[in-house]
Amino acid sequence: MDQITSVLILALPLCMFLLLGVFGNKMSHKMAGILGTLGMGVTLILAYSTAFTYFFSGSELFIDAAGNRLQSVVFDHTWLAFTDNLVIKLGFLLDPISAMMLVVITTISFMVHLYSLGYMHGETGFQRYYAFLSLFSFSMLGLVVATNIFQMYIFWELVGASSYLLIGFYYTKPSAVSASKKAFIVTRFADLGFLVGILILSFYTNTFDFVSMTSNPQNVLASTGGAMFMGGSVLTWALVLIFMGGMGKSAMMPLHIWLPDAMEGPTPVSALIHAATMVVAGVFLVARMFPVYLMEVTALEIVTWVGALTALYAAIVACTQVDIKRVLAFSTISQIAFMMVALGVARDTIHEGVGYMASMFHLFTHAMFKALLFLGAGALIHAVHSNDYTSMGGLRKYMPITHITFLIGCLAIAGIPPFAGFFSKDEILVAAFENSPLWGIWMTAVAGLTAFYMFRLYYRIFWWNEPDYEHHGHVPHDAPWTMTLPLIILAAVSCVAGFIPFGELVSWNREAYHIHLNIPVAATSVIVAVCAIALATVMYRKENSLPDKVANSVKGLWTAAYNRFYFDELYLFITHKIIFNLVSRPIAWFDRHIIDGSMDMFATLAHKASGAIKGLQSGNIQSYVLIYLMGALLIGVVTVVCVVIL
């Protein structure tokens, strides 16, 4: 693997960003779009060749004689040296997961670039859009190839910023502005945890480097053993805090609230950032640090709990949402939670750490089919000009390509064989059952819910009842080829991705792992999924009153779920009522009136004192003389008392 290729993978998108960002206004839309897409295309080719070289060249750089894959640092350039050991390097770490991520990111990114040529056609700020996409791709690529935790943090922040810019792309729309702000601040809050985690970890390990941290965690982490803080070991704290960063980016409860709002951004952006790549950064982070997490099972248990609760929560909420992008957003949250659970239940002692492999596998397949779903949703929105499924229905006739590809996506996510989601989800369930039946059952139930809400969505869009499209001015139709082509490609990938021998390529200890279907688990999950789909079919295939009845029968739960269990309100309360009104405002008031007031008070006091003693200068000589004499005598007497008597 030569350095130039790897440098180019990062540099090309960055150059595209600078080029489009600085000179974009001078270019035509077409020029900018094509330039951006071409740049991404070249990056795609380079990334693919890199990944293929890594996985299949058999070079001793990448795989040892025993068949274990190796971590290969292609280059590692010192960027900022804090101390001799704590050094931020910008490097390129090639190992199974980063190679896999390279493929995922470049694929989806390229698809989105292509798709956007059609979707964003004629939008103002088209060049800016492509510039930001390039920036995002650069940041995300930098994140996954990070050789050290600080590099990851750097790019972590950069993806956050590009996500902010892209969510707020329609900056004249107040909702988009506030959504972008929310996304940035919530993830920033999580990043605070990440940062503190890094600080704690690096303080004890004295290194940022992933390879040295993960290849020999026992030694590196030796000094953390004894140190305790507030009841937990330091390592637990550090790992949980680092995981907090992951929770923010990956929208785990309770830091998930930004993701549904992030759907304010252009739909291809949602596909790229908020479905396929950036949101899985948290999973990637835990996976990257997995050997360290294995040192501290408590932290992994927390990961599991957070993941499981989020998965269930998001699935329930997804069942009630009306906005198709929000349904997909909650579904994303839920699916990422699956990956988290998979990591959380994985142990090196159990089944060769199948959870880790499953998680990565699911990450891969999910990226494909969720991008597909989002792009499909984009095509729908493009056609109907609404995010709301109530203004859709019966679209299967008008948009056949979209319909088929969307259906494939739904089947994949529902875990129906032979689509991709089945295989990866199956592995997750296996891992969960291996860890504890509780998680197995729990996750199977969530998988059932997944199938249900996806098909609810599917039926509401493509079946149900057809609204009067003529009345709205135009009849929906399939999108141009730039948009449908990515759909078709992704659909094809979703169909076949499950058959990739993923375990051979990726596993926690980089030894080859042979996937074999665990028939009981697979059968259970498929049966649950099919039942759920059937239920959805009953309820939503034709317009009927059944959904309302169901909703009414569990009215409390339904309303709560519809309002996303009031998390947003809670946050609003905390930010506005507590942070703003009870902290910031009082502090600002305190500053203006107490601190500043006390400074002003000195001035006022001086003036007051000046006014108070003005009587001394009465203009009357006799009082002058009296004061003169009294002053002299007073000083004299005091001196006498002090010097002579004391």
Partner 1 sequence: MDINLMFYLIPSLIMFCCGVYGFITRKNMIAILISLELMLNAVDINFVVFNRFLFPGELEGMFFTLFAIAIAAAETALAIAIIINIFRVTKNIDIRDLNKMKF
Partner 2 sequence: MFENILIYFVVIPVLMLGGLALCKNIKQIRAVAVVGSLALVGLSIALLLGYLEQRAAGATAEMLYVDSWTWFAPLNINLAVGVDGISVAMLILSAIILLTGSFASWKIDPLPKEFFLWLILLSIGVFGFFITIDLFTMFMFYEVALIPMYLLIGVWGSGNKNYSAMKLTLMLMGGSAFLMLGLIGIHYHSAPEGQPLTWNLLEIAQNNAIDRNWQYFLFPMTFVGFGVLGAMFPFHTWSPDGHASAPTAVSMLHAGVLMKLGGYGCFRVAIYLMPEAANELAWIFLILTGISVVYGAFSACVQTDLKYINAYSSVSHCGLVLFAILMLNTTAMTGAIMQMLSHGLMTALFFALIGMIYGRTHTRDIRMMGGLMKIMPFLAVCYVIAGMASLGLPGLSGFVAEMTIFVGSFQHTDMFHRVFTIVACCSIVITAVYILRVVGKLLLGPVQDKHHLELTDATWWERLSTITLIVSVAAIGCFPNFFAELIKFTFSENIFKVLGMN
Partner 3 sequence: MDYSQFLAMKQEIGLLVVFLLVFLYDTFMPKKAQNSLSAITCIFFGLFTLAGFCPCLSYDANAFSGMYETSAVIVAIKNILNVGVLIVLIQSIKWANSESQIMRRGEFYELLLVTLFGMYLMISARHFLLFVIGLEAASLPLAAMVAFDKKQYESHEAAVKYILTAVFSSAIFLMGLSFVYGLAGTLYFDQLAFAVAIEGSKSVMLIIALIFVIAGIGFKLSLVPFHLWTADVYQGAPTSVTAYLSVISKGAAAFAFFVVMAQVFGAVYSQVWEWMLYALIVLTITIGNLFALRQRNMKRFLAFSSISQAGYIMLGVIANTTGGLGSLMYYILVYIFSNLAAFGVVAAIENATGKVSMDDYNGLYKTNPRLSFAMMLAMFSLAGIPPFAGFFSKFFIFTSAIEQGSIAIYVLVLIALINTIPSLYYYLLVVKAMFINENETPIATFKSSVSERLGLWICVAGIILLGIVSCFYSSLLELTNAM
Binding site for partner 1 (CB under 8 A): 614, 617-622, 625-626, 629
Q: Given the structure tokens 């835990």, which residue do they identify? A: 286
- Residue 82's binding partner among partner 1, partner 2, partner 3, none (Cβ under 5 to 8 angstroms by kind) is partner 2
- Reading phi first (left if > 0) and then psi (alpha if -120 to 50, else beta), residue 207 is in beta
Under the binding rule (CB under 8 A), the answer on residue 158 touching partner 2 is yes
Q: How far is CA 146 from CA 6, 132, 441, in A?
A: 12, 21, 36
Answer yes or no: are the C-beta atoms of 383 and 479 closer than 8 Å.
yes
Under the binding rule (CB under 8 A), the answer on residue 554 touching partner 3 is no
DSSP code, position 478: P
Residue from 22, 531, 572, 629 touching partner 3 (CB under 8 A): that is 629
Give the DSSP H or E segment for 142. Answer: helix 126-144
- Residue 585's binding partner among partner 3, partner 1, partner 2, none (Cβ under 5 to 8 angstroms by kind) is partner 2
Under the binding rule (CB under 8 A), the answer on residue 495 touching partner 2 is no
Which of 297/601 has CB closer to partner 3?
601
Mapping DSSP to helix (H, G, I), strand (E, B) and coil, where does residue 21 land?
Answer: helix
User: Residues 6 or more apart from 217 whose CB is under 8 A from it?
Assistant: 291, 292, 294, 295
Which of 574/641 has CB closer to partner 3?
641
Residue 646 CB, nearest approach to partner 1 (Å):
26
Residue 263 CB, nearest approach to partner 2 (Å):
18
Residue from 587, 601, 632, 633 touching partner 2 (CB under 8 A): that is 587
DSSP code, position 232: E
Q: Where are the beta strands (DSSP E) in 230-376?
A: 232-233
Residue from 3, 594, 609, 615 touching partner 3 (CB under 8 A): that is 609
Helix axes 324-345, 354-384, angle to 10 degrees: 180
Q: Given the structure tokens 């659970």, which residue do they identify? A: 341
Question: How far is it, in rounded angstroms, from Cα 177 to Cα 465?
Answer: 34
DSSP code, position 590: I
Under the binding rule (CB under 8 A), the answer on residue 609 touching partner 2 is no
Question: How far is it, in rounded angstroms, from Cα 58 to Cα 588?
Answer: 63
Q: Which stretch binds partner 2 (CB under 8 A): 156-164, 500-508, 537-545, 549-557?
A: 156-164
Name which of 380, 401, 413 is nearest 489 in CA terms: 401
Side-chain-side CA neighbours of 135 within 13 Å: the count stands at 23
Stretch 88-117: interaction string toward partner 2, x if CB under 8 A: x-----------------------------
Q: Which stretch binds partner 3 (CB under 8 A): 131-139, 294-302, 403-411, 637-645?
A: 637-645
Q: Which stretch binds partner 2 (CB under 8 A): 82-90, 210-218, 372-380, 500-508?
A: 82-90
Give the DSSP H or E segment for 80. Answer: strand 72-81
Answer yes or no: are the C-beta atoms of 143 and 250 closer than 8 Å.
no
Name which of 459, 462, 454 is nearest 421 in CA terms: 454
Under the binding rule (CB under 8 A), the answer on residue 624 touching partner 3 is yes
Residue 227 CB, nearest approach to partner 2 (Å):
10
Q: Phi, psi at residue 72, to the nearest 5°?
A: -120, 125
Q: Phi, psi at residue 250, to the nearest 5°?
A: -90, 10
Under the binding rule (CB under 8 A), the answer on residue 27 touching partner 2 is no
Query: Which structure tokens are listed for 437?
Result: 């039946």
Residue from 23, 52, 229, 628 touching partner 3 (CB under 8 A): that is 628
- Residue 202's binding partner among partner 3, partner 2, partner 1, none (Cβ under 5 to 8 angstroms by kind) is partner 2
- Residue 565's binding partner among partner 2, partner 1, partner 3, none (Cβ under 5 to 8 angstroms by kind) is none
Under the binding rule (CB under 8 A), the answer on residue 7 touching partner 2 is no
Which of 550/630 has CB closer to partner 1?
630
Taken in order 247, 252, 258, 260, the sign of the CA dihedral is: positive
Q: Given the structure tokens 């002053």, which residue do they identify? A: 631
Which of 224/518 has CB closer to partner 2?
224
Under the binding rule (CB under 8 A), the answer on residue 631 touching partner 3 is yes
Residue 628 CB, nearest approach to partner 1 (Å):
10
Residue from 4, 11, 572, 606 touching partner 3 (CB under 8 A): that is 606
Residue from 580, 618, 626, 632 touching partner 2 (CB under 8 A): that is 580
Which of 199/546 has CB closer to partner 2?
199
- Residue 630's binding partner among partner 2, partner 3, partner 1, none (Cβ under 5 to 8 angstroms by kind) is partner 3
Query: Which structure tokens are listed for 87?
Result: 């050094």
Which of 172/545 has CB closer to partner 2?
172
Which of 538/630 has CB closer to partner 3?
630
Q: Given the structure tokens 């309002």, which residue do they identify? A: 563
Residue from 48, 79, 305, 567 touching partner 2 (CB under 8 A): that is 79
Question: How far is it, in rounded angstroms, from Cα 342 to Cα 354?
Answer: 8
Residue from 36, 168, 291, 378 touching partner 2 (CB under 8 A): that is 168
Q: Given the structure tokens 């089945």, which residue do they identify? A: 422
Q: How many residues bind partner 2 (CB under 8 A)?
A: 50
Q: Phi, psi at residue 568, to the nearest 5°?
A: -65, -40
**Which positions from 174 through 233 interact with partner 2, judged by CB under 8 A?**
174, 177-178, 180-181, 184-185, 188-189, 191-192, 195-196, 199-200, 202-203
Q: Which stretch binds partner 3 (CB under 8 A): 329-337, 367-375, 478-486, 632-640?
A: 632-640
Question: How far is it, in rounded angstroms, from Cα 200 to Cα 42?
Answer: 40
User: In 10 A of CB 222, how many CB atoms?
Assistant: 11
Under the binding rule (CB under 8 A), the answer on residue 565 touching partner 2 is no
Q: Which stretch binds partner 3 (CB under 8 A): 67-75, 326-334, 408-416, 619-627?
A: 619-627
Residue 618 CB, nearest approach to partner 1 (Å):
6
Helix axes 519-540, 420-435, angle to 10 degrees: 120
DSSP 593-629: IIIHHHHHHHHHHHHHHHHHTGGGS-S-HHHHHHHHH
Question: How far is it, in rounded angstroms, from Cα 127 to Cα 222?
Answer: 51
Query: Which structure tokens are listed for 494?
Result: 């979703």
Under the binding rule (CB under 8 A), the answer on residue 627 touching partner 3 is yes
Residues in contact with partner 2 by the rule CB under 8 A: 78-83, 86, 88, 150, 154-155, 157-158, 161, 164, 168, 171-174, 177-178, 180-181, 184-185, 188-189, 191-192, 195-196, 199-200, 202-203, 579-580, 583-585, 587-588, 591, 595-596, 598-600, 603
Residues in contact with partner 3 by the rule CB under 8 A: 603, 606-607, 609-611, 613-614, 616-617, 619, 621, 623-625, 627-633, 635-636, 638-640, 642-644
